[in-house]
Structure formats: structure tokens, C-alpha cells
Amino acid sequence: MSNSKEQYVHFHNSLTEINRCAREEPQAFAQTSEQAYQTELRRIAEQAARETRDCRIVLLAGPSASGKTTTASLLSACLQQEGVSSFVFSLDNFYLPEEQSPRHPDGVPDFESVHALDIEQIRSCLLSLIRTRSCRMPVFDFETHRPRPEKQEVELPAHSLVIMEGLHALNPLLSEGLPKEYLLHAYLSVKQGVEQGGEILLSPNDMRLVRRLVRDARFRACTAERTLGMWPSVMQGEYRYIKPFREQADITINTFLGYEICVLRDEALKLLESVPAGSPYFAEASRVAAALEHVVPLPHTLVPPDSILHEFLG
């Protein structure tokens, strides 16, 4: 059985191996995919727990559909097992009111920009957490597109760790003036795609697109056509605001799970096939759908309760 586990680890981005594992040992395939990811998080938690400073800040960044929210929660749970208290918060709570957001040339708000966030308030909260283990955290209301009048009072015990997750967490504008020895920079993303015969069938960005297609349909009432229409803007924002800073990361986390494309396959394929032939996104939908046709499907019941896949599946 140990040999099987080694194969899952080393060949899990080969379509041939993915399909073989899905057919022959689907339960073991899911378990070993998840275990590899959990092992990486435990390693990071152990590293962070060895630090003796009173309050450290983990700045956790990653592009869309990389699994930031769930990874932050799972890392917090791993830290708890190491005896370290932690607090997780999202940069989304620091959005400015919509009327103060930067604009695209056509006047549409640019929510991908770091300047859509209240940068001064982020710095103030982080510095307060480092100095006093406390702060007054804003809470953003996405229905009114404004911060709520009330703030969240945060009080942490000694030797705590704060995890700040968000698209722009590694942007130096947010940590400017903060003592660097209290900061741990982490970047996560899907680092692998699916290969077939030495060719890339689905790139890492395609993997994230598949995740987002399913998530947007389930949680945001988005059609596949709408998600595909937004994707170029999302990618443009990533290359402009996120990826230039990934080299600053102390830790890099790969959120690719070998079996995930099998689990997402049927739902994503149905969404892609719904894009009409006259759509400007039909060619892209057809390309990704054609790749998914080659993947052996697996049921959602194989996904454990603490998997990052629930961020997209619910």
C-alpha cells in the first residue's frame, strides 16, 4: 500500500495516473491526495509554532479559487494542535465604501485593485495586534457595499498567531512600517495542471477556472458564460496586483489535489456545455469541456469534511 501512496504523490498530475487511480482505488486516491496537503500544512504549523514572539502575523495571499479561506482555517486548526492560539481574518473586511473605490476607465469600480482596500486601517490593525494582541477590526457588509458601523473587538492570548488572508496579503503597501521579524509571508495557489502524453491538458489556471465555475454556479448564481466573461479581468488583476509579490513569500503552498478534477468534472462539464454556440466564450468553454471529457468522474461523497474542495462544492 505504501507503493500506491508514493505513486499518487509523484504521478497525480498525469491524466493516465489520475484515471487509473480513480478507477482502481478511488477511496485511497482521495485520501492520499488530501493527506499530502494536510502534511504540508502541519509542517508549516510546526515551523510557525517554534517562533517565540508574542504575536506573529501570517500574511496569506493567493489568486482567485486557490483555496485561501479554507487553507487559513485548516492552518489555524493545525496551529491549535501545536498549542498555539490563532485568529483568522480576511482582507475583504477592509474594503472601502463602493463610492471610494478606484475605477476602471469605463467608470466601473475596480475591486481587484489593492487601493480598493483601506490600507491605513490594515496597517493600524496589524500594528496594534503586534504591540497589544488586540484591535478593532472592521466588518464589511457585501449587501450594502459599505463597512458596518460596528467593529469586531479582537483580544488574543499571549504567544498567538494571526492569519490575514486575501488577494493582496503580500503587497508591501499593507505591511509598510511594520516590524518584519513579526511577519511570515505565505503564497498559495494551484501549482500543477493535468498532463497527457507530455502535453498540458489543463493548466494550473484552468484548474482554478474549473473550481470557480462550480463555486460561482453554486454560491453566486453565476452562469458559466458570466464566469468565463469575468475570468480575463480576474487574471489581469492577478498579474498586476498579486503575482509580482509571490517571490517575497517565505512559504509556498500548493493547493492542487490529485483527485479534485475527477470530483469537479461532471458539474463543470455540464456548466461549460450550457454556453451557447453564439457566445464569445463558446470556444474557451469548448476547449475546457473537451479536456474534461477525458477525465474519469468521482462522486462528491469521497470528499472529506475538512477538504478545501468544500470551498467550491459547499
**Average pLDDT, stretch 269-280?**
97
| 2-313 CATH | 3.40.50.300
Count of Cβ atoms closer than 10 Å to residue 168 Cβ: 24
Is the per-residue pLDDT at 221 higher than 70? Answer: yes
- Alpha helices, DSSP H only, in the chain? 2-11, 15-24, 26-49, 68-81, 119-132, 172-175, 204-219, 224-241, 260-273, 282-292, 310-313
Q: Of 159 and 300, which is predicted with more confidence?
A: 300
Domain spans in the chain, listed from the N-terminal domain onward: 2-313
State the pLDDT at residue 52.
58
Is the per-residue pLDDT at 110 higher than 90? Answer: no
Confidence of residue 58 (pLDDT cuts 50, 70, 90): very high
pTM as predicted: 0.86
State the pLDDT at residue 125.
96
Q: Is 4 helix (H, G, I), strand (E, B) or coil?
A: helix
Work out the mean pLDDT of the chain and round it to a whole number.
Answer: 91
State the pLDDT at residue 237.
85
Say how many Å lie between the first and final Cα of the chain, rounded: 31
Q: Is 154 helix (H, G, I), strand (E, B) or coil?
A: strand
Judge contact between 151 and 139, C-beta under 8 A. Answer: yes
Question: d(Cα 92, Cα 98) in Å, to the nearest integer?
Answer: 13
**Average pLDDT, stretch 234-238?**
88
H or E element at residue 183: strand 183-189
CA 231, 236, 242, 246 torsion: positive or negative? positive
User: Could you please report the per-residue DSSP string of 51-107?
Assistant: --SSEEEEEEE--TTS-HHHHHHHHHHHHHHTT--EEEEEGGGGBPPGGGS-B-TTS
Q: Which of 199, 189, 184, 185 is nearest to 257 (CA)?
A: 189
User: Rg of the chain over CA atoms, in angstroms?
Assistant: 20
State the pLDDT at residue 95.
94
**Among 32-41, 45-54, 88-97, which stretch is predicted with the lowest mean pLDDT?**
45-54
Question: d(Cα 311, Cα 180) in Å, to the nearest integer?
Answer: 31
**Average pLDDT, stretch 57-61?**
94
Judge contact between 193 and 203, C-beta under 8 A. Answer: yes
Q: Which of 30-44, 185-199, 205-219, 244-258 has the highest mean pLDDT?
A: 205-219
State the pLDDT at residue 9.
39
Sorted by sequence, the CB contacts under 8 Å of residue 72 that are 6+ apart come out as 60, 88, 163, 165
Confidence of residue 104 (pLDDT cuts 50, 70, 90): confident
Is the per-residue pLDDT at 11 higher than 70? Answer: no
Is the per-residue pLDDT at 227 higher than 50? Answer: yes
Residues in the chain: 314
Angle at 226 between CA 223 and CA 228, to 5 degrees: 110
State the pLDDT at residue 53.
66
Question: d(Cα 268, Cα 223) in Å, to the nearest integer?
Answer: 11
* Per-residue pLDDT tens digits for 159-189: 889 999 999 999 999 999 999 999 999 999 9
Question: d(Cα 101, Cα 95) in Å, to the nearest integer?
Answer: 8
Is the per-residue pLDDT at 7 higher than 50? Answer: no
State the pLDDT at residue 5.
35
Judge contact between 9 and 32, C-beta under 8 A. Answer: yes
Is the per-residue pLDDT at 4 higher than 60? Answer: no
* Per-residue pLDDT tens digits for 16-47: 999 999 999 999 999 999 998 999 899 888 88
Judge contact between 205 and 235, C-beta under 8 A. Answer: yes
Count of Cβ atoms closer than 10 Å to residue 176 Cβ: 9
**Average pLDDT, stretch 228-249?**
90
* Per-residue pLDDT tens digits for 129-145: 999 999 999 999 988 88
